[in-house]
Amino acid sequence: MKKLIFLILIILVVGCTKKNNLVKNSQDFGCENVIKASNYVDNNPIKISLYQKENGKYQRKKEFISSFPSLKDIGIFSIILSSNEEEIGSIKDLYKKYSTDKNFSNYKIGYYLKVNLKDDRFVEETILNPKYFTNYLFSDYLYIWLYDDINNSGWYSHIEENDYNLNTVMSSIKLMATEKGSLEIENVMLTVFTYDEDDFDNNGYYQGNSKFTTLIKR
């Protein structure tokens, strides 16, 4: 487990806050003087990557090309606790294989989504559960669906807010552009990460090393 050995809160600028689903200009991103936790130690040993199934195998995806078609699937991205370029087997079996190696029960899976628009604005969100997306709409530009492939068998649907509990594993995510998004999205940065309670800075951003990003671009 990671520890916050010593916490120093320094507030130098009033009013520098992050708001969920706020469309921002790229030059406005972040804040020079933020509240920071010092001496953060990340001992998380978990490897993690985003994969897509191709020809019966899971291929690790650092980049993915899409035309962002209106109201059609961009793709489904599966999470495997691995950094191998290729994996073979079911998501459930692979999860069982890798989660027992590094005491994964201490950690959860989260996502960070950043939708960059053609006019240099963007929308961002850290996703730790499905509560933000009961209508599946991630801003005006993107729909998302989250799935638990680990605790289900046969046919199953996406995770609803009232289905989510401590045992839920958000093991895959599906993206779809809205009509507006199909015209205005430049690219999407999809990051998956594993976390426990001290892995976020005081602005709510993930600060650990157990993460992987796929760039979805035109």
Question: Which residues, in sequence order, are CB contacts of 150 under 8 Å at separation 6+?
Answer: 91, 92, 95, 169, 171
**Rounded distance between C-alpha atoms, residue 56 and residue 153, angstroms:** 19
**Rounded distance between C-alpha atoms, residue 89 and residue 18, angstroms:** 40
Is the pTM above the cut of 0.75?
yes
Asked if residue 111 lies in contact with residue 193, where contact means CB atoms within 8 angstroms, the answer is yes
pLDDT (tens, 9 = 90+) of the chain, 218 residues, equals 444 443 333 333 333 333 344 555 444 433 333 344 458 889 899 999 999 999 999 999 999 999 999 999 999 999 999 999 999 999 999 999 999 866 788 899 999 999 999 999 999 999 998 875 557 788 899 999 999 999 998 889 999 888 889 899 999 999 999 999 999 999 999 999 999 988 999 899 999 999 999 999 99
Asked if residue 134 lies in contact with residue 73, where contact means CB atoms within 8 angstroms, the answer is no
Question: Which residues, in sequence order, are CB contacts of 152 under 8 Å at separation 6+?
Answer: none
